[in-house]
Amino acid sequence: MSKIGYSRRGVLKAGAAAAVASAFPAPMIWAQEIRNITLRQFGTGVSNINEVAQKVKEDLGFTLEMTALDSDAVTQRAATQPNSFDIADIEYWICKKVWPTGNLQAMDTAKIKLYDKIVPLFTTGKLTPESVIAQGTAPHTVGFVEGQGSKTFATEPTQWMTLIPTIYNADTLGIRPDIINRPISHWKELLNPEFKGKASILDISAIGIMDAAMVCESMGEVSYGDKGNMTREEIDKTMAIFTEAKRAGQFRSFWKTFDESVNLMASGEVVIQSMWSPAITAVKTRGIPCVYQPLEEGYRSWGGGIGLSKALEGAKLDAAYEYINWYLSGWVGGFLMRQGYYSAVPETSKEHMDANEWGYWFEGKPATADIANPYGQVMAKAGESRDGGSFYERMGHVACWNSVMDENQYMVRKWNEFIAA
> What is the predicted pLDDT for the residue at 47?
84
Q: Residue 28: is its pLDDT beyond 70?
A: no
- Residues 290 and 314 placed together within one structural domain of the fold: no
> Which is more confident, 256 or 45?
256
Q: Tell me the average pLDDT of the chain.
A: 91
Strands (DSSP E) found in 221-333: 251-255, 272-274, 291-293, 299-309
- Residues 97 and 176 placed together within one structural domain of the fold: no
- Residues 232 and 284 placed together within one structural domain of the fold: yes
pTM (2 decimals)?
A: 0.87
- Residues 104 and 206 placed together within one structural domain of the fold: no
Give 79-94 pLDDT, tens digit per residue: 999 999 999 999 999 9
Alpha helix (H) ranges present in 171-231?
177-180, 205-219
Phi-psi region of 48 (alpha: psi -120 to 50; beta: other; left: phi over 0): beta
Q: Look at residue 369 and tell me if it is in a domain.
A: no
> What is the predicted pLDDT for the residue at 60?
95
Specify whether the CB–CB gap between 210 and 389 falls below 8 A: no
**For the chain, how big is the Rg over CA atoms in Å?**
21
Strands 164-171, 299-309: pairing is antiparallel
What confidence tier does 133 reach under pLDDT thresholds 50, 70, 90?
A: very high
- Residues 83 and 116 placed together within one structural domain of the fold: yes
For residue 21, give every residue at least 6 positions away whose Cβ sits within 8 Å of its Cβ, in sequence order, or none: none
> What is the predicted pLDDT for the residue at 128?
92
Give 170-189 pLDDT, tens digit per residue: 999 999 999 999 999 999 99
> What is the predicted pLDDT for the residue at 32?
57
Average pLDDT over residues 68-73: 86
Provide the percentage of residues in the chain whose pLDDT is more than 70: 92
Average pLDDT over residues 290-313: 96
What confidence tier does 105 reach under pLDDT thresholds 50, 70, 90?
A: very high
Q: Residue 18: is its pLDDT beyond 70?
A: no
Q: Residue 25: is its pLDDT beyond 50?
A: no
Q: Look at residue 360 and tell me if it is in a domain.
A: no
* Distance of alpha carbon 12 from alpha carbon 118, whole angstroms: 14
- Residues 64 and 97 placed together within one structural domain of the fold: yes
- The boundaries of the domain holding residue 382 are 171-300+374-420
- Residues 255 and 392 placed together within one structural domain of the fold: yes
Q: Look at residue 227 and tell me if it is in a domain.
A: yes
CA–CA distance from 53 to each of 39, 152, 264, 306, 416 (Å)? 10, 33, 30, 14, 36
Give 204-231 pLDDT, tens digit per residue: 998 999 999 999 999 999 999 999 999 9
Q: Look at residue 252 and tell me if it is in a domain.
A: yes
Q: Residue 20: is its pLDDT beyond 50?
A: no
Give 336-372 pLDDT, tens digit per residue: 999 899 999 999 999 999 999 999 999 999 999 999 9
What confidence tier does 15 reach under pLDDT thresholds 50, 70, 90?
A: very low
Angle of helix 232-247 versus helix 408-420 axis, rounded to 10: 10
Q: What is the CATH number of the domain that holds 114?
A: 3.40.190.10
CA–CA distance from 281 to each of 126, 174, 207, 277 (Å)? 28, 11, 21, 6
Give me the number of domains the chain comprises: 2
- Residues 295 and 340 placed together within one structural domain of the fold: no
For residue 305, give every residue at least 6 positions away whose Cβ sits within 8 Å of its Cβ, in sequence order, or none: 89, 90, 92, 95, 122, 139, 143, 162, 163, 164, 165, 166, 167, 344
> What is the predicted pLDDT for the residue at 31?
58
Long-range contacts of range 249-254, CB-CB < 8 Å, 24 or more positions apart? Answer: 249/196, 249/197, 250/191, 250/193, 250/195, 250/196, 250/197, 250/199, 251/197, 251/199, 251/200, 251/201, 252/197, 252/198, 252/199, 252/200, 253/200, 254/200, 254/201, 254/202, 254/203, 254/419
Residue (of 410, 160, 136, 420) closest to 298 by Cα position:
136
> What is the predicted pLDDT for the residue at 71?
82
Range name among 41-45, 264-268, 413-417 with the lowest pLDDT average: 41-45
Q: Look at residue 72 and tell me if it is in a domain.
A: yes
Q: Look at residue 11 and tell me if it is in a domain.
A: no
Q: Residue 378: is its pLDDT beyond 60?
A: yes
Q: Residue 141: is its pLDDT beyond 50?
A: yes
Specify whether the CB–CB gap between 337 and 343 falls below 8 A: yes
> What is the predicted pLDDT for the residue at 269?
97
Angle, CA of 185, 133 and 111, to the nearest 5°:
120
CA–CA distance from 77 to each of 83, 86, 88, 226 (Å)? 10, 12, 9, 29
Strands 272-274, 291-293: pairing is unpaired
- Residues 136 and 118 placed together within one structural domain of the fold: yes
Average pLDDT over residues 154-180: 97
> What is the predicted pLDDT for the residue at 9?
30
Provide the percentage of residues in the chain whose pLDDT is more than 90: 82
Range name among 3-17, 33-47, 58-72, 310-324 with the lowest pLDDT average: 3-17
> What is the predicted pLDDT for the residue at 19?
42
What confidence tier does 379 reach under pLDDT thresholds 50, 70, 90?
A: confident
* Distance of alpha carbon 313 from alpha carbon 105, whole angstroms: 10
> What is the predicted pLDDT for the residue at 46?
80
- Residues 295 and 306 placed together within one structural domain of the fold: no
- Residues 411 and 314 placed together within one structural domain of the fold: no
